[in-house]
Amino acid sequence: MSSNPPDDPFGTIMAIAEEMHRLAELAVVQYTPAVEGIISSKCRDVHHIGHTLDRLLDFGFNAPMVELFRRLCRYYYFIDAAAAANYVLTYREMWDSEESGVS
Q: How does pLDDT run along the chain (103 residues), one tens digit per residue? A: 455 556 788 888 999 989 999 999 999 999 999 999 999 999 999 999 999 999 999 999 999 999 999 999 999 999 999 999 999 999 999 998 754 444 4
Domains of the chain by residue range: 9-95
- Long-range (24+ apart) CB contacts under 8 A made by 44-51 are 44/79, 46/79, 46/80, 46/83, 49/75, 49/76, 49/79, 50/83, 50/87
Provide the pLDDT for residue 9: 83
Q: State residue 11's pLDDT score.
A: 86
The pTM (predicted TM-score) of the whole model is 0.81
Q: What pLDDT shows up at residue 102?
A: 44
